[in-house]
C-alpha cells in the first residue's frame, strides 16, 4: 500500500498549531505521513526576536527553541494523525524530553530541517524521536513526549 505524503504551507500550519508570532517556529511541512513521520522547515533569520539577546555579538538560536520547533512539528503530526485541530478543544502539550543532544550551532541564514518520527502512542501520550539538521549535518536530536489535553 502506498503511503500518502502531505505538505503544508504556513497557512496550513496555522490551522494545526495554536502558536503565533513570535513563538511559531516552523515555516513549512514538506512531508507528513499521518501516524508515522513529519519533516518540517525552519528558516532562521537575523530578525528572530531572540537574537537580540542570544547573543548580540554572536547570534545563536537557543537550544530550547530548537527543541520547541521539534515539538511543534510533532504537534502538527499528532493533530493530522487523529484528524483534529486545536479548535476542537484539545492541545498537544510538551510533556517530557529525553536524550537531548546539541551537536552544532544554528545561526541566522540557516535552514533547519526537522524530522520527527512517531515511536509510540499510549492513550493520550505520544512519544517521538527527532533530529534537526542544517546542510545535512545534525544540530540537535531528542526524544519528546507530548500529551493530548482538553482545554
User: Is the CB of residue 136 less than 8 Å from the CB of residue 125?
Assistant: no
Residue of 38, 1, 2, 45 lying closest to 17 (CA atoms): 38
Cβ contacts of 23 within 8 Å, gap of 6 or more = 68
User: Is the CB of residue 5 less than 8 Å from the CB of residue 75?
Assistant: no
Residue of 71, 133, 135 lying closest to 97 (CA atoms): 71
Q: Which one from 28, 31, 50, 54 is the annotated catalytic residue?
A: 54
Using the structure block, give the residue that is written with the C-alpha cell 494523525: 81
Task: Give catalytic status of residue 19 as yes or no.
Answer: no
* Integer Cα distance of 93 and 135 in angstroms: 29
Cβ contacts of 85 within 8 Å, gap of 6 or more = 15, 16, 79
Point out the residues that are catalytic.
54
Amino acid at each position: 500500500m502506498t503511503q500518502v505524503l502531505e505538505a503544508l504551507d504556513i497557512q496550513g500550519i496555522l490551522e494545526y498549531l495554536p502558536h503565533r508570532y513570535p513563538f511559531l517556529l516552523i515555516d513549512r511541512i514538506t512531508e507528513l505521513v499521518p501516524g508515522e513521520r513529519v519533516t518540517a522547515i525552519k528558516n532562521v533569520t537575523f530578525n528572530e526576536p531572540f537574537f537580540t539577546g542570544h547573543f548580540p555579538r554572536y547570534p545563536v538560536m537557543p537550544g530550547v527553541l530548537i527543541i520547541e520547533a521539534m515539538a511543534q512539528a510533532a504537534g502538527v503530526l499528532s493533530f493530522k494523525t487523529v484528524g483534529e485541530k486545536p479548535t476542537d478543544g484539545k492541545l498537544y502539550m510538551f510533556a517530557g524530553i529525553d536524550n537531548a543532544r546539541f551537536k552544532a550551532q544554528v545561526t541566522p541564514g540557516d535552514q533547519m530541517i526537522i524530522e520527527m518520527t512517531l515511536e509510540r502512542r499510549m492513550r493520550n501520550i505520544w512519544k517521538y524521536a527527532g533530529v534537526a539538521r542544517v546542510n545535512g549535518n545534525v544540530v540537535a536530536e531528542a526524544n519528546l513526549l507530548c500529551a493530548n489535553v482538553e482545554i
